[in-house]
Amino acid sequence: MADAHAKYQSPLTSRYASEAMAYNFSDNKKFSTWRQLWLNLATAEKELGLEQITDEALDEMRANLTNIDYEMAAAEERRRRHDVMAHVHTFGVACPKAAPIIHLGATSCFVTDNADLIALRDGLTILLDRLAIVVDSLARFASAHRALPTLGFTHFQPAQLTTVGKRACLWLQELLWDLRNLQRARDDLCFRGVKGTTGTQASFLALFHGDHAKVKALDQRVTELSGFRTPYAVTGQTYSRKVDVDVIQALASLGATAHKIATDIRLLANLKEMEEPFEKEQIGSSAMAYKRNPMRCERVCALARHLQTLAFNALSTSSTQWLERTLDDSANRRITLPEAFLTADIVLLVLQNITDGLVVYPKVIGRRIAQELPFMATENVIMAMVERGGDRQECHEHIRVLSHEAAREVKMEGRENDLIDRIKADAYFAPIHAELDSLLDPVTFIGRAPEQVDEFVRDCVQPALAPYSEAIQAKQVAQLNV
């Protein structure tokens, strides 16, 4: 028996991806789908009057959809140098009564392209459920921390306050756009259907003796039997590879969102304000025992970068197709399509794990606010003094001097920000000494952030999640290899 550890295995399947997504691009799914497509074609051809197709043949095909002799198929492919014909022969051996009519009128792309479209549709359905679960988890987090003040950052420099929940809504908004993009990509998918070798349906027109109506009906019927509403109106030998571009661009865009979210959490982990889940016996570093590395977020970033690069691959393949088709797309797509979906799948699974267990440290957040808020509150101090009859320009100069003195202590001596103590010790500001604590209440600096969280979750998130209520209710905590 061959040693499984003696050859390369993709970590996407051996280490990371879910069983559902790995199965979606498995040989069992692919070749049983081919057989189902041959059954759908024969069924529709019989319904439309091809007498050479019998009920016994259809029953035989139906009974052998998953009875695949892979050794025979491999031997046939080595002999014939053609994967589709190898499986036509293998299916025919399992179904001798059906052998003469399997693949009748079809070209190879009838099974290869239509099976790919089924895999894209089913893969998007898996990803949509996963994404909805992540959105739901993050929305709950946002609502729980809707009013917790935190220091906002622009250019990663201290800025005005926001709230932890409001920041999470910035992440949520992009995830909702991704949900829309994946929905649109899935709903826009049509079926290649039965189009023949160059898309003209000439072989099927010959089968039905020039009856155009029957050929059109055949195309529509096979499409419906395969779970799609409509076939593409026109194709070459293949469906346009621009379809792959649309799908993978949506996945790559999700990758960009995931990378931004995970990067933000990594930055906040460095500030000790927020952390991803960390198990009791988890080791952060083999050398530095105290470390709590954000390895889940780092994994998201790593895989998200790979996912984004696949978008160019799809664009390049689409742009280099010649006329009705060329085969230099085949080997490329065998890698790119599964990798895009498997990568997106694990990115969402890890994001689910992260968002289910995000840890917030309010006291650390509060300490950082206390370090920066005195500077931010200077305008409030000036306005309060003016209300007590002070001169705005004179007050500005007083507080400018005190601010620079306090900043010097922070930067040059490493001391805490003592601007408020300096204001309290300055007789000039005596009229507002009693108000200073209220002027420095962080809640007065967060604007409508809590209300924005409530409104966003109610008006945007909840309606978007409504179609996925069953998946959300049935969610299981992902058991990841972490």
Report the alpha-carbon distance of residue 323 to residue 325 in Å, rounded. Answer: 6
- 256, two tokens: 């960009």
Report the alpha-carbon distance of residue 195 to residue 198 in Å, rounded. Answer: 7
Burial of 66 (0-12, 13-18, 19+ CB in 10 A): exposed
Identify the three-state secondary structure at position 159. Answer: strand
Identify the three-state secondary structure at position 236. Answer: coil
Q: What is the DSSP letter of 329?
A: G
Question: What percentage of the chain's residues is helix, strand, coil (to nearest 5)?
Answer: 70, 5, 25
Q: How far apart are the first and last CA of the chain?
A: 30
Residue recorded with tokens 């905590």: 477
Handedness of CA 452, 454, 457, 458 (dihedral sign): negative
Q: Which positions are catalytic?
A: 155, 285
Q: Would strands 157-163 and 274-275 be described as parallel, antiparallel, or unpaired?
A: unpaired
| Contacts (Cβ under 8 Å, ≥6 apart) of 303 | 16, 255, 343, 346, 347, 350
- 325, two tokens: 């088709």
